[in-house]
């Protein structure tokens, strides 16, 4: 009878000590309060009533960092929120070295986000988001490494700017666009004047080309029926008419 009871007790201990960890889980085992080992994945056995385990999920976790109101380096108050991706790479440290690693990672990330925004101007926050994200990821990762946490990525989602600042930035952008338009127009006028000067010098040595250009201009003006056309006589015709008039006047005076 006693051997049967002993066998039953042993079988009960064996059954109570059997544990299963999923592929994405690890079990941190403590024996009489002291760290013993990390078990899993799969089936493993611990000593009942002596060993205790804490199961850790080692998959990547996504954490939304709530919107933070902070001041930039150039004294502009903005609101920023972000997303954090991290995972546990050392389950033992995540349990032993920090009481609540999820809360610790969140709080440290929020603080680091506020600090790094305060080190940049508003223009830098808007234009250099990738660089700021990379810097923030390195800062948080270097501090959480001792806890067995790996920060995989940090991304700022939205940057909310005060309405007054938005209107000022819109006016600035409009002024920049107007400046560019004026510069383009001035460059076009300069290039056109250079081409016209070159054309005028080219025609100066060829009277026939000048007269052909005049005739072409007359044909272009005559396309519009509502246009009053002023005919420019060629210089040779003008000179001939003037000479003929002088000759007639001279003949009349001699008579």
Q: What is the DSSP code string of 217-228?
A: HHHHHTTSTTSP
CATH assignment of 61-165?
Answer: 3.30.479.30
| Residue 72 CB contacts under 8 Å (≥ 6 apart), including other chains | 78, 117, 118, 120, 121, 122, 125
pLDDT tens-digit profile of 187-229? 888 888 887 777 767 666 666 666 666 666 666 665 655 556 5
Among positive and negative, which fits the CA dihedral 155, 160, 165, 167? Answer: positive
pLDDT reading at 247 higher than 80: no
CA angle 233, 210, 238 (to 5 degrees): 25
Q: Would you state the pLDDT for residue 177?
A: 80
The maximal CA–CA distance of the chain, rounded, in angstroms, is: 171
Please name every residue paired with 54 in a beta bridge, in sequence order, or none if there are none.
28
**Which 3 state secondary structure label does DSSP give 196?**
helix
Please name every residue paired with 156 in a beta bridge, in sequence order, or none if there are none.
82
HSE of 238, CA atoms in CB hemisphere, 13 A: 6
Q: Is the pTM of this model over 0.75?
A: no
Contact 65, 57 (CB under 8 A): no
Q: Tell me how far apart the alpha carbons of residues 52 and 33 are, in angstroms, rounded to a whole number.
A: 8
Residue of 131 and 225 predicted with greater confidence:
131
Q: Would you state the pLDDT for residue 133?
A: 93
Supply the mean pLDDT for the chain.
83
Among positive and negative, which fits the CA dihedral 87, 90, 91, 97? Answer: negative
CB atoms near residue 47 (< 10 Å): 14
Cis check: omega of the bond before 41, within 30 degrees of 0? yes
Q: What is the DSSP code string of 174-191?
A: HHHHHHHHHHHHHHHHHH
Q: How do the domains of the chain map onto residue ranges?
A: 7-57, 61-165
pLDDT tens-digit profile of 161-189? 877 776 777 777 778 888 888 888 888 88
Among positive and negative, which fits the CA dihedral 85, 89, 93, 94? Answer: positive
pLDDT tens-digit profile of 67-105? 988 989 988 889 999 999 999 999 999 999 999 999 999
User: How many whole angstroms from its chain centre is CA 51?
Assistant: 51
């Amino acid at each position: 009878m006693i051997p049967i009871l002993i066998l039953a007790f042993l079988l009960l201990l064996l059954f109570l000590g059997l544990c299963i960890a999923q592929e994405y889980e690890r079990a941190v085992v403590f024996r009489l309060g002291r760290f013993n080992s990390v078990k899993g994945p799969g089936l493993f056995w611990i000593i009942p009533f002596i060993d205790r385990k804490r199961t850790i999920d080692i998959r990547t976790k996504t954490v939304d960092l709530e919107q933070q109101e902070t001041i930039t380096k150039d004294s502009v108050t903005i609101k920023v929120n972000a997303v954090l991706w991290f995972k546990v790479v050392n389950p033992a440290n995540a349990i032993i070295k920090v009481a609540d690693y999820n809360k610790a990672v969140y709080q440290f990330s929020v603080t680091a986000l506020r600090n790094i925004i305060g080190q940049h101007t508003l223009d830098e926050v808007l234009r250099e988001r990738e660089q700021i994200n990379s810097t923030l990821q390195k800062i948080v990762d270097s501090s959480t490494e001792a806890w067995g946490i790996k920060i995989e990525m940090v991304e700022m989602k939205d940057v909310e700017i005060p309405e007054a600042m938005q209107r000022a930035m819109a006016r600035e952008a409009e002024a920049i666009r107007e400046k560019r338009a004026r510069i383009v127009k001035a460059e076009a006028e300069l290039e056109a004047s250079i081409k016209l000067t070159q054309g005028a010098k080219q025609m100066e040595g060829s009277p026939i080309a000048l007269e052909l250009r005049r005739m072409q201009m007359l044909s272009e003006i005559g396309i519009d029926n509502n246009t009053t056309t002023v005919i420019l006589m060629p210089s040779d015709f003008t000179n001939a008419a003037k000479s003929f008039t002088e000759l007639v006047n001279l003949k009349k005076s001699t008579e």
